[in-house]
């Protein structure tokens, strides 16, 4: 960089940064072991001088040597390079949020870690921000002054996507996906507090949120050298981007979500959390959960594990207590864990689940609101689960299975108020637990439904669902283990529809039973007349087609297995729900509890 160029950068940046401002450069990194040190050095060399700056590379769970390369770069220039490490790959959106949380600058530059966009155009970005009084300046490949080396097929894809974005969202820009964007801290912070997308459409959602608030967005030219890189333009990614883009349109235009979403204020003092894990015994799943708790970004917590017998779980970098309970139901174990806790908040998680690194960080902020009694988030199927368990997870996430409750299984639903949530991912205020005397112990499963009902109806408090309060929950594989679990859930839900109608007597729970009744009634009536037979066959074909389409996957075998799983789930749920509705008492109310088969059923394969 020439002396003249440095002078121009300092002058342009100073006009925006002022006397006390600083530039934070956030660079998401994934699988860039071979180039990231060189790229960081290039950025630091370009910015070196009188411009106050920091560079925050965020390693998004890379499986190569990227993390070590970042440590080496930080050791070489500790004054400017401040890496952030995300242990589990969670997408670009999450990586940039983590980088922003660590950033100290008044202005934030988002710059792709592969550096296919030259930072030499940064002077122009600051000029545009000053001259147009903009809060956001984004690089645009379509700008007339841009210099780009870009494959023709990606140009076509970019043009198509721009047209779609213009039609759906109406952003006053011609390119949302270029990986170089300059924000004021206020503009980016406002958007990140409200964003939901964790992967490829992150850029579009951030710009949409900020623009809807009134932050001015302007464009600047870029210099791009794409070279021979393959990039991320796969069919899977294209489908994901399209889904996310339509979701952004729905939240912006239909729900008006971004303008109304609640943002909790920070706590004056850190709240202490007790994470309670009920389990029969140590297992690989429990070890995985404890490993994930080691990676929490929020550090003010302890862990209480409640196995049947005394167990040794080894040293951990957080306070860990093992409290043997003997053979007991999960509700009894959780109540024991709560009794052992002296924390402000109790977080319940299953031993076959493990939290995302920012699980506690995203959840704890809601407890600054006095009317919030509990917080929950999705239990997403882990990407490394076996094939049949993945299929079981897809069945749960299918809209024709979970309906309005799909937010429990996917991580991109809107924040909302709920009145029923599973204990695999539920954090409850301690004083609320005291007021309702914890879980009822005469039901399993279903004890969490009663707990949530007590929080909402008895205490008049809210349960907040936030998709960023995410855990990964291992699924039972199709078919037998999955259907046995579905049958237990349905049996209790049917009984609860009679005993606790406020949260269980709902049309969505009744539909599978109506479906099964229709199958039986139709089969009985079909022989009576050709018209009835044809109508019955047509209805079954329509149902098979709709469930087949809803189970779509780019992997044909996964598509087929999911489709069969959806139909089997409807039948089992419908039968068992009706059985529960007609039952006077549940088996768990009179039978002793035993769980070895449960533990074996969900053991890793």
Which residues have CB under 8 Å from 475's CB, separation 6+?
Answer: 381, 385, 389, 390, 392, 393, 396, 482
pLDDT in tens, 85-119: 987 777 788 888 889 989 999 999 999 898 888 88
The strands making up 353-355's β-sheet, listed across from edge to edge, are 353-355, 471-473, 379-380
pLDDT in tens, 68-78: 999 999 999 99
Strands 372-376 and 462-465: parallel
| Residue 592 confidence (pLDDT) | 57
Residue 491 has pLDDT above 90, yes or no: yes
DSSP for 251-274 reads IIIII-HHHH---PPPPSSPPPEE
Residue 190 has pLDDT above 50, yes or no: yes
Is the preceding omega at residue 141 within 30 degrees of 0, hence cis?
A: no
Q: What does the alpha-carbon distance between residue 293 and residue 508 come to, in Å, rounded to a whole number?
A: 35
Q: Which two tokens stand for residue 356?
A: 């995302």
Pair 53, 13: CB distance under 8 Å: no
Mean pLDDT in residue range 398-416 = 92
Residue 200 has pLDDT above 80, yes or no: no
| Residue 81 confidence (pLDDT) | 95
| Residue 234 confidence (pLDDT) | 64
Residue 303: beta bridge partners? 275, 320
pLDDT in tens, 363-405: 999 999 999 999 999 999 998 899 999 999 999 999 999 999 9
Residue 600 has pLDDT above 50, yes or no: no
Is the preceding omega at residue 479 within 30 degrees of 0, hence cis?
A: yes
pLDDT in tens, 12-24: 888 888 888 999 9
Whole-number mean pLDDT of the chain? 89
| Residue 149 confidence (pLDDT) | 73
Confidence of residue 145 (pLDDT cuts 50, 70, 90): confident
**What is the percent of the chain where pLDDT is above 90?**
66
Show me where the domains of the chain are located. 3-260, 273-378+413-475, 497-601
- Opening angle at CA 191, ends 190 and 197, nearest 5: 150
| Residue 599 confidence (pLDDT) | 44
Question: Nearest-CA neighbor of 511 among 574, 583, 576, 581?
Answer: 574
Grouping H, G, I as helix, E, B as strand and the rest as coil, residue 201 is coil
- Indicate the range of 251-260, 401-410, 580-589 predicted with least confidence: 580-589
Residue 320 has pLDDT above 90, yes or no: yes
pLDDT in tens, 328-362: 999 999 999 999 999 999 999 999 999 998 899 99
- What architecture is the 273-378+413-475 domain classified under in CATH? Alpha-Beta Complex (3.90)
Mean pLDDT in residue range 484-498 = 95
pLDDT in tens, 22-52: 999 999 999 999 999 999 999 999 898 768 9
Q: Which two tokens stand for residue 600?
A: 């074996």
Say how many C-beta atoms besides its own lie within 10 A of residue 480's C-beta: 10
Give, to the nearest 10 degrees, the angle between helix 202-213 and helix 235-249: 20
- Predicted TM-score of the model (pTM): 0.86
DSSP-derived letter for residue 477 is P
Q: Which CATH superfamily is domain 3-260 in?
A: Spore Coat Polysaccharide Biosynthesis Protein SpsA; Chain A (3.90.550.10)
Mean pLDDT in residue range 311-319 = 93
Grouping H, G, I as helix, E, B as strand and the rest as coil, residue 81 is strand
- Indicate the range of 160-169, 185-194, 506-515, 552-561 predicted with least confidence: 160-169
| Residue 604 confidence (pLDDT) | 37
Confidence of residue 455 (pLDDT cuts 50, 70, 90): very high
| Residue 528 confidence (pLDDT) | 93
3-state helix, strand, coil in the chain (%, to 5): 50, 15, 35
| Residue 160 confidence (pLDDT) | 78
């Amino acid at each position: 960089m020439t002396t003249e160029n440095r002078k121009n950068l300092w002058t342009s940046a100073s006009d925006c940064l002022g006397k006390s401002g600083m530039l934070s450069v956030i660079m998401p990194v994934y699988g860039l072991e071979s180039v990231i040190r060189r790229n960081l050095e290039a950025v630091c060399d370009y910015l070196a001088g009188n411009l106050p700056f920091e560079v925050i590379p965020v390693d998004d769970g890379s499986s190569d040597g990227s993390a070590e390369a970042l440590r080496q770069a930080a050791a070489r220039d500790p004054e400017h390079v401040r890496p952030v490490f995300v242990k589990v790959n969670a997408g670009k959106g999450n990586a940039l949020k983590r980088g922003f949380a660590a950033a100290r600058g008044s202005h934030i530059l988002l710059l792709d870690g592969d550096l296919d966009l030259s930072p030499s155009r940064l002077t122009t970005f600051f000029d545009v921000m000053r001259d147009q009084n903009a809060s956001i300046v984004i690089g645009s490949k379509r700008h007339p002054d841009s210099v780009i080396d870009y494959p023709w097929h990606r140009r076509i894809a970019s043009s198509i996507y721009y047209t779609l974005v213009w039609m759906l969202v109406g952003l006053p820009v011609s390119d949302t996906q270029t990986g170089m964007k300059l924000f004021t801290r206020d503009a980016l912070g406002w958007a990140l507090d409200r964003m939901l997308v964790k992967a490829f459409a992150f850029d579009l959602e951030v710009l949409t949120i900020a623009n809807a608030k009134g932050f001015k967005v302007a464009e600047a030219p870029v210099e791009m050298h794409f070279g021979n890189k393959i990039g991320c333009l796969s069919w899977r990614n294209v489908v994901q981007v399209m889904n996310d883009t339509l979701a952004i349109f729905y939240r912006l235009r239909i729900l008006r979500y971004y303008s109304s979403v609640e943002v909790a204020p920070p706590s004056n003092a850190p709240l202490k959390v007790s994470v309670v894990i009920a389990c029969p015994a140590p297992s690989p799943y429990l070890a995985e959960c404890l490993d994930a708790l080691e990676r929490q970004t929020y550090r003010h917590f302890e862990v209480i594990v409640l196995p049947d017998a005394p167990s040794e779980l080894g040293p951990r970098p957080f306070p860990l207590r093992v409290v043997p309970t003997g053979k007991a139901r999960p509700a009894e174990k959780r109540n024991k864990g709560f009794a052992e806790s002296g924390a402000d908040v109790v977080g319940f998680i299953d031993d076959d689940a493990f939290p995302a690194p920012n699980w506690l960080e995203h959840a704890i902020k809601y407890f600054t609101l006095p009317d919030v009694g509990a917080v929950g988030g999705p239990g997403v199927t882990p990407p490394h689960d076996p094939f049949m368990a993945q299929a079981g997870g897809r069945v749960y996430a299918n809209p024709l299975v979970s309906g309005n409750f799909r937010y429990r299984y996917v991580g991109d639903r809107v924040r909302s108020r709920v009145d029923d949530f599973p204990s695999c991912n539920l954090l409850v205020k301690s004083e609320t637990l005291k007021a309702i005397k914890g879980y009822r112990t005469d039901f399993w499963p279903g004890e969490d439904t009663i707990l949530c009902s007590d929080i909402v109806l008895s205490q008049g408090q809210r349960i907040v669902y936030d998709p960023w309060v995410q855990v990964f929950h291992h699924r039972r594989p199709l078919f037998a283990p999955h259907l046995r679990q579905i049958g237990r859930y349905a049996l209790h839900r049917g009984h609860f529809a009679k005993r606790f109608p406020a949260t269980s007597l709902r049309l969505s729970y009744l539909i599978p039973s109506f479906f099964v009744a229709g199958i039986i009634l139709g089969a009985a009536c079909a022989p009576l007349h050709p018209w009835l037979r044809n109508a019955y066959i047509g209805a079954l074909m329509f149902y098979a087609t709709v469930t087949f389409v809803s189970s779509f996957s780019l992997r044909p075998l996964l598509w087929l297995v999911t489709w069969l799983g959806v139909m089997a789930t409807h039948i089992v749920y419908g039968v068992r729900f009706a059985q529960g509705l007609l039952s006077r008492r549940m088996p768990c109310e009179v039978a002793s509890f035993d769980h070895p088969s449960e533990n074996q059923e969900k053991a890793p394969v």
